[in-house]
Amino acid sequence: MNHWDKLIKTALLGTEKSEFDLKSLPDSIRAYTENAPDKDPEARFYTAASLVYLYEKAGQLPENTPIPLLGPAPDETDVICPPAVEQLLETLLSEQNRQVNLLVYCFQQIARKRWVLPYTKLTAVFNLSISPGFKNLQPFLHPIYGNRGAWLVNLNPSWSVLTPNATDQIWESGSLTERRKWLIALRLEDPAQCLALLKATIEQERNARERKEWIRVLNGQLSSDELLFIQDLYEQLPASKEQDKPIVQETRRLLTEILLSAPLSLLSKDVAVKLERYVLLQKRILGMRAKIAIEIPAQPDDFLCPEIMVQLFGFEAVSPTPGLSSTEFWFCELARCVHPIVWETVFKDRPWSEILGAFAKSNALHSGSKLPLLQHVAHALARTMYRKGILAFVQEYGVDESNYFMLNALHNEELEKMVMNQSQGILPDYLKEVMQRPNWTWSKPFSRFVLQCFIAPRTNGIQYHEYVKMLSMHIHLDLSMLPELEDLRDQPSKNPLEQQMQRSLITPLIHLLQLRKSINNLI
């Protein structure tokens, strides 16, 4: 029965001429209106009208919504963070400009103490970790969310990425990119299982381009079994009926690069020996020490030729780099791929600083193209002889955009010393390239040097703002710099540039260091 029509009729005529019959209302509404303390007809009418409106809008029978019964949360068996740490977490999470690196640092310290997060902070931390810009937090959460967190992540599908077995689901239903990343991670934990899955997948894969992407999983330090597998794939390619297709050439080149980068590969040793003929040891007159030079033929010879470079290795038939001949291009690509250990065996006792210098000076490495040998030298981080060679090279030839990558081979102390010796009071551009190096806390002298460069009046404006942004995102500065920063902040100045520096750089850095200090003191 529609009660709304009767209410409208009463409203049009007025309660004095047509009083609404309360007996026609549903029992729940009539009981409330009859027992209402206000007996005024108009008041009862308005009460009835509002209740009938909501009653009919909601439906006469409530909808049955099945709500799953949740079991009780398990007891926490690990040690929960102390209240002071919980308060610190509240501060870090409520910051207007929350710093992901600072949160990662805090979570690492909590894990080191074998504590777990308080359950009152789990929801906020979980939601933050799945939001853009903060997904780097996810790998650090599982060790510290405890039994309560393990129970809680199952209640929200969006948090499923935080469960330890979330990666297992990726292999079954993830995209090609996600599955490749999963295999790369599995390779670090269980190389044998990774290789078995990879063999089965590549054997079943019919899409040549996706097959090539699967091969990329093994683009790194190879085990003996992985090396045999890549060698088999390489030997199967020439027999392919579609060997002239671009994707087949791309796959051939990828396999070539993987084999050349493996120090135990026969192909890598063979190519390095054949390249040795182009790296000459020229004797100087009058008993002076020998000089190393690179001499590459202008025309193809018996090794640097299309029959080998294109058909066997998958390289381009013509150099894609302007001003670089095809023979020079082929030499550069081969030199870039051969593993440094193989180069070491071939070059024997020749001084690395001179070899690097020869590559730098060679006409084959001009127009800003990267130094191919240095690129692989930079990956040999633990080999002291390479770092010495790089330092000798930098001292003689300097650093520019073509060889920033080789700085990754230097230890933190070596890099700091090089910057302070060569920058002449101005922060070099390449420092931005290595600022994201993990777990790098600057020494006090280097921290002071960086700040002095900022304060210098000749600091470039664009560079200055880029560094301000990067410094505010990372935790490089030494904590002992806090008093000096506070002195800089408190110095009165009428100079607008100095005032801007205090606001945009000094004050945020002080806040960042204070939070780091609190983390260290409490955890």
Phi, psi of 282 (to 5 degrees): -95, 125
Q: What is the pLDDT of residue 365?
A: 44
Q: What is the pLDDT of residue 154?
A: 85
How many angstroms separate the CA atoms of 219 and 187, rounded?
Answer: 11
Q: What is the pLDDT of residue 522?
A: 87
Digit-coded pLDDT (tens) for 401-424: 555 656 766 778 888 888 888 777
Q: What is the pLDDT of residue 2?
A: 63
The 8-class DSSP code of residue 243 comes to T
| Lookup: tokens for 511 | 């806040």
Q: What is the pLDDT of residue 470?
A: 60
CA–chain centroid gap for 295, Å, is: 40
Q: So where are the chain's domains?
A: 4-58, 79-164, 263-410, 431-523
3-state secondary structure of 78: coil
How many angstroms separate the CA atoms of 70 and 313, rounded?
Answer: 61
Spans in the chain with pLDDT lower than 50: 1, 362-384, 458-460, 462
Structure pTM?
Answer: 0.56
Q: What is the DSSP string of 282-348?
A: EPPSTTPPPEEEE---SS--SSSSHHHHTTTT---SS-SSTT--HHHHHHHHHHHHS-HHHHHHHHT
Q: What is the pLDDT of residue 19?
A: 63
What is the CB neighbour count within 10 angstroms for residue 131? 9
3-state secondary structure of 279: strand
Digit-coded pLDDT (tens) for 219-232: 777 888 999 999 99
